Amino acid sequence: MKAYMVFDIGGTYIKYAVMDREGTKLEKGKFPTPTEGLEAFLQEISNVVKEYSNSYILQGIAVSSPGAVDVNTGYIGGASAIPFIHGVCMSRLLMERTGLQVAIENDANCAALAEGWLGAAKGTNYYICIVIGTGIGGSIVLNHSILRGANLHGGEFGYMIMGAPFTDPLQETWSKSASTNALVKEVESKKSLADGTLDGEEVFRLAFSGDRDVQESIAHFYKKLAIGIYNLKYALDPEKILIGGGISKRREVIDGINQELKLLKDDISTLTIEVEACQFENDANLIGALFHFLRVFDKTSI
């Protein structure tokens, strides 16, 4: 049976799946991300490929990776928790090890592509995904292609400066003021708690327990997110705006942002702006990596 080998490289684990061309997982698994270096990493990948090549006719390898991925060369720039994958032409190295075609895409871009292929943006030509977590990032997708920008910074929404003082505007970027991490730090400060005491889940538990200070912080969090989304809507005017990241699984977050967006209208700013949650969670990067591979090597298939 023909199939594709797909890997999602993470700082702790590398997830993998054997998938068909419709995005269905036929096999799946994971292994700890090697810490010994590049050689151990390549060997683990090739071992998995060899194992499944006995049962499937593998058509190639699709990879979701952190870092600034140059999809044309397979070179991974930037930095991540896995230093040895950067500064090398990963697609060439994997092809030499396995004899298979290889396509690599950035992990956030993979998640966005998955939504357009089979998820919340299916049938949508132009959309953006905003990923809220430690910082804020995302992707801009037009006709199933990522708008990367001249320096591969397309979709780096978190760098937007949000109402900062002129003395030090870079201290008030969207990531620093409206990420999940920023919300947690604000609550810790209000409660005179040490850094790292809380996480996002605990912050929302405090709010549900009736803590007024935390409820106020979350309300401000929604407002700051809504302001950034308003800016992106008017700057880019996408058909859809999707919210990803762990916090997007909370229905009250999507509702809270949309409530704030409803207030951002007047006689001139008349657009109705709404956000939706991304559909895929743990499998998003695998699905998107496969989609990218099919676009590169089998352009007529999707």
CATH of 2-106+282-297 among 3.30.420.40, 3.30.2310.20, 3.90.1300.10, 3.90.45.10? 3.30.420.40
At residue 166, does pLDDT exceed 80? no
User: In this structure, how many other beta carbons lie within 10 angstroms of the beta carbon of residue 31?
Assistant: 13
- Rounded mean pLDDT, 270-285: 93
pLDDT in tens, 175-215: 999 999 999 999 999 999 999 999 999 999 999 999 999 99
pLDDT in tens, 69-90: 999 999 998 888 899 999 999 9
- Rounded mean pLDDT, 146-159: 90
At residue 169, does pLDDT exceed 90? no
- The residues facing 131 across adjacent strands are 137, 244
Residue spans in the chain of domains classed CATH 3.30.420.40: 2-106+282-297, 120-277
Fold of 120-277: Nucleotidyltransferase; domain 5 (3.30.420)
Buried b (16+ CB within 10 A) or exposed e, 247-265: bbeeeebbebbbebbeebe
pTM of the predicted protein model: 0.88
User: In this structure, how many other beta carbons lie within 10 angstroms of the beta carbon of residue 114?
Assistant: 29
pLDDT value of residue 78: 84
Q: What is the mean pLDDT of the chain?
A: 93
- The residues facing 28 across adjacent strands are 17
The three-state secondary structure class of 222 is helix
Radius of gyration of the chain, Cα coordinates, nearest whole angstrom:
20
The three-state secondary structure class of 148 is coil
pLDDT value of residue 126: 98
CA distance 172 to 161: 6
pLDDT value of residue 167: 72
pLDDT value of residue 79: 82
At residue 113, does pLDDT exceed 80? yes
CA distance 99 to 107: 24
- Rounded mean pLDDT, 230-251: 95
